[in-house]
A and B are shown apart, each in its own frame.
Chain A
Amino acid sequence: MKLIFEKSVSGRKSYSLPKLDVKEFQIDIPQHLIRNEEPELPELYEVDIVRHYNQLASLNHSVDRGFYPLGSCTMKYNPFLNEEVASLNGFKFIHPYQEERTIQGALELMYELQEFLKEITGMDDVTLQPAAGAHGELTGMLIIRKYLQENNLGHKNEVIIPDSAHGTNPASAVMAGFEVVKVNSNNEGRVDLDHLKSLVNENTAAIMLTNPNTLGLFEKDILKISDLMHKNNALLYYDGANLNAIMGKVRPGDNGFDVVHLNLHKTFSTPHGMGGPGSGPIAVKSYLRDYLPKPVVGVKEIGEYYFDYDIPKSIGKVRSFYGNFLVLVKAYTYILSMGKEGLKKVSELATLNANYLKEKLSRFLDVAYPDVCKHEFVIKGSSLKDYGVSTLDFAKRLLDYGIHPPTVYFPLIVDEAMMIEPTETESKETLDEVAAIYEKIVEEAKEEPQKLKNAPMTLSIKRLDEVKANKDLKVKFD
């Protein structure tokens, strides 16, 4: 479809402003600092814009449109209630530099959310400042670094990260000034304990773990790993991207983790908004409290909430103001809606759905690790190669059936990987239908492989040339 710039007609407008109600001043800005050409923004009338965005919306797959099992992204259903309450004037139209007594509702909400997150993770203190999961990772690793330095352990500069980890983990560790050491997975898809032991030394600062990991498997040696790390004065960082599997079932804090981040947009359904905003609070054990970014929200005995800047060894700020407040409102709403029983049920049903779909698909596709999984599992697509098709072809064919493909080619340790996370908000009928579609596509791969290679065929657009996009780089309209 046309770009908005191609729809622009000189002289059209879709805004109206009241006449200036004050006198016009002589503009006293030096001439060379005044813009001499208007910025090239489109000129349209309102209906143009309305139709443009409605057309664009129809080109997107979304959770509201159909199954969206993007592994490790937790694309669960997003309640309308979350949106409605987050759009209240008392949340949307407040300024970050208002006097504290004029924002008691916002502070109470943040305080209570801190308390809920502590409880869910089994940790002692929380900051809501990070803007996304990866931002939380960076914050957590900066806290670990500062803690080590303050305790004469500044020489510890190595962070151990499994080969199955999210790409953000190594990237965040490096941004926080660490070197990355990779630990292998064993043939069960878990951290290879012997390899880990061989890597741990006096320079080991921390291990970053996702638990359950990206294969959907729980690191059952977690207590041994925790012992090993702590004996070596190293810390445990918990990547909360996969927390949706374990709420009310197991708490990272009880397993020895020292720092935990959460992805509120995933677990707490805030929604994902085409790629953000997310929110990535981190929770820490009490001995790390003094390193949190300023401020956290506290409460005085008289029931007055306040920003607590008394964080003596703070790493500093990682974001302006207090984090993605409106996302916090939605996560808080979700927690109130579900409550303690609901959150536990969410995790149980996410796990049940994943295992159910895994068993169904295992009849005609290879599951990489057959063990009982948590919220997600990984298919090894390499057997499709026998028919001359790839995981990518398979994924593109799924589009023709109106369902979103899983995460593909990740984790890196599984050949032709497809990582499937159905989430708890999908019904048994949907899972049955999905399994039937997968089976059908496997049959197609055997009989008409070209169909997969040509896919998608039913959308507004056919398969895109991503090589050309990178070679003839065009990143704006001229």
Chain B
Amino acid sequence: MNDFPYLPHTQKDIEEMFSFLGIKDIDELYRDIPVLFKGELNIPSGLSEMEVKEKLSDLASLNKNIEEYGIFRGAGVYNHYIPSVIYPLASNRNFLTAYTPYQAEVSQGTLQILYEYQTQICNLTAMEVSNSSMYDGASALAEAILMSKRINGKNHVLMSKLVHPEYQEVSKTYTEVQGMNIEQIDYVSETGQLDLADLSSKITQETSCVVVSYPNFFGVIEDLKVIREKVPNEVVFIVVTYPISLGLLEAPGKFGADIVVGEGQSLGNTPSFGGPGLGIFASKKKYIRKMPGRIIGETVDQDGKRGFCMVLQTREQHIRREKSTSNICSNHAFNALLASLYMNVIGKQGIREVSLQNYHKAHYLARKLLETEKFKPVFDGPFFNEFVLESKIDPEFLNEKLLEQHYFGPLILKNFYENMGNNVLFCATELTKKRDIDFLCSFLEGLS
């Protein structure tokens, strides 16, 4: 007997296999190892399915989840509605238990899904080509910056201070070892938008790329048109975006973005404590050979029938090794599937409607919060579904009190930026209900 449902071997099987191999003991197959581990791993013995499930349920229940708690926090991971049809369809085990489509003829499902995903991302961002996903928004940005160096050979990076702070950190980690240096572009304290004068004064002959976030980390919508005018053509213009906002906002490709990256979690992926997410990566077609990551293309079979396969693999690590455009191998294909499904379900009108609902709910929230007089406005630039207010109540105290009422309050900005005082970042999405906003505001009335 064996005790493990995932292991098929009976004692008889093992004996027959031993006898076929002419061995008496499994360790004969480990005879070439000089230092076998003789001890026992300090790990508990295996548990039954019931016991594991109970243990995991217990752990899960120690977490306060946002199905039970209201949330007014975004900052890179957003709580959006996920239509019911999405997870059951995606969870089909012929998707879930397949791997990278190395053999195209038995992977047409995967390949077509990723081809459709690439098309959707291009259409959403108004870019010409998209890869089939990266790990997350942050690593996608880091790779975009490395790509800018492959395009123009330069090392100076200009990045808006209002790109997500974690993306800035990841970019620094990736690019510093390649001799690239990142300089921050300041923002205008009245509007919360990029300081154009600061941008212009910092561009040099050595500038490889300019990175802006649209909307930015403070939720403010940058004017890509005027920014683009300040960025010389030989400098790669990289836009970090939030895909849900693109139902309402003009696509970055329309403003001449060279590379668009972003976090795709908001497209049909649960927040999942921040991972796995989905790195969106799209660019102009002329740069396709400089792009990192897997790309799917259309072709025909022997009979001329349409099919799909991986293309431009000579850029990739498994062929090009140390000369590849990136080391990425496993990407986030399953999350791309969820995103693609989401975009199919929501469709061209839906994305606009979701986007508009986000806009109106956030503006309602902002208006009501200001009416409580517990907050002061901070920036006057236009915002999408997130905005900064200065809290007259100590932010930690505020969030403690809200937690008691089963709400996650706004993000406390001083944890991310110096000199932020009591500034907090609020977020509303289509899932934020009017009654929660009204409750929040009436609760705050009584708080000092």
Contact = CB atoms under 8 A, between A and B. Distances in A.
A321 B250 contact: no
Interface string A337-366: 111111111101101100110011000000
B442 to A, nearest CB: 15
Interface string A12-50: 111101001111110111101111101111111010011
A134 B173 contact: no
Nearest to B60: A90
A95 B60 CA distance: 13
Interface residues of B, number: 203
Contacts of B172: 316
Interface in A107-138: 108-109, 116, 119-120, 122, 131-135, 137-138
Interface in A130-186: 131-135, 137-138, 142, 145, 166-168, 170-177, 180
Contact of A104 (B63, B296, B326, B346): B63
Interface string B100-137: 11111111111011111011101110001110110111
A22 B437 contact: yes
30 contacts: A15-B83, A24-B360, A41-B344, A42-B347, A44-B344, A57-B92, A62-B96, A90-B59, A94-B66, A102-B408, A105-B60, A131-B332, A177-B178, A250-B30, A272-B97, A272-B330, A274-B110, A277-B276, A293-B173, A317-B170, A317-B173, A322-B274, A338-B4, A355-B29, A410-B318, A425-B6, A462-B301, A475-B297, A475-B298, A476-B119
A324 interface: yes
Interface stretch (A199-207, A380-388, A463-471): A463-471
Interface in B73-99: 73, 75-77, 79, 81, 83, 85, 87, 89-99
Given A35-B250, A469-B298, A43 B349 contact: yes
B31 A372 contact: yes
A155 to B, nearest CB: 15
Interface stretch (B33-41, B196-204, B369-377): B33-41
B42 interface: yes
Interface string A69-95: 010010111110101110111111111
B156 to A, nearest CB: 18
B145 interface: no
A273 B42 contact: no
Contact of B96 (A78, A119, A340): A78
A449 interface: no
Interface string A285-319: 00000000100000000000000000000011111
Contact of B62 (A104, A320, A474): A104
Contacts of A175: 146, 174, 177-178, 326-327
A290 to B, nearest CB: 15
B299 A468 contact: yes
Contacts of A349: 7, 9
Contacts of B57: 85, 88, 90
B137 A320 contact: yes
A326 B333 contact: no
A106 interface: yes
Given A40-B348, A168-B329, A174 B322 contact: yes
B387 interface: no
Interface string A373-410: 01000000000000000000001100100001101001
A352 B14 contact: yes
Nearest to B278: A277
Given A96-B274, A475-B129, A35 B251 contact: yes
B57 to A, nearest CB: 7
Given A53-B89, A251-B37, A468-B300, A319 B129 contact: no
B129 A476 contact: yes
A40 B123 contact: yes
Given A15-B350, A104-B62, A142-B173, 12 more contacts: A17-B357, A64-B94, A83-B91, A98-B64, A109-B59, A168-B318, A174-B327, A218-B30, A321-B273, A359-B20, A428-B16, A473-B297
Given A53-B89, A271-B97, A34 B250 contact: yes
A74 to B, nearest CB: 10
Nearest to A104: B62
Contacts of A355: 21, 29
B93 A30 contact: no
Contact of B61 (A84, A105, A336, A428): A105
Contact of B271 (A59, A84, A92, A332): A92
B59 A60 contact: no
A249 interface: yes
A3 B112 contact: yes
A238 interface: no
B177 A142 contact: yes
A165 to B, nearest CB: 9
Given A85-B52, A92-B271, A167-B319, A336 B44 contact: yes
Contact of A93 (B67, B103, B108, B350): B67
B334 interface: yes
A420 interface: no
A170 B104 CA distance: 26
A22 B323 CA distance: 55
Contacts of B81: 17
A119 B43 contact: yes
Interface stretch (A227-235, A437-445, A453-461): A453-461
A399 B105 contact: yes
A370 interface: no
B62 A61 contact: no
A14 B85 contact: yes
Contacts of A315: 173
Contact of A171 (B103, B321, B360): B321
Contact of B247 (A35, A43, A78): A35
Given A27-B359, A476-B119, A15 B52 contact: no
Contact of A475 (B30, B311, B334, B367): B311
A36 B243 CA distance: 16
B348 A137 contact: no
A337 B352 CA distance: 45
A96 B79 CA distance: 12
A254 B26 contact: no
Interface stretch (B161-169, B205-213, B229-237): B161-169
A119 B32 CA distance: 23
B363 A463 contact: no
A62 B318 contact: no
A170 B108 contact: no
B56 A329 contact: yes
Interface string B138-166: 11000000100000000000000000101
B421 interface: no
Given A120-B43, A276-B334, A399 B103 contact: yes
Nearest to A78: B97
Nearest to B359: A27
A23 B108 contact: no
B65 interface: yes
Contacts of A425: 6-8
Nearest to A92: B270
A192 interface: no
B250 A25 contact: no
B389 to A, nearest CB: 17
A469 B112 CA distance: 14
A40 B116 CA distance: 12
A126 to B, nearest CB: 14
Nearest to B328: A134
A346 B352 CA distance: 50
A4 interface: yes
B224 A220 contact: no
B290 interface: no
Given A249-B36, A320-B76, A63 B137 contact: no
A149 to B, nearest CB: 10
Contact of A218 (B7, B32, B66, B351): B32
A342 B2 CA distance: 10
Contact of B166 (A93, A137, A321, A462): A321
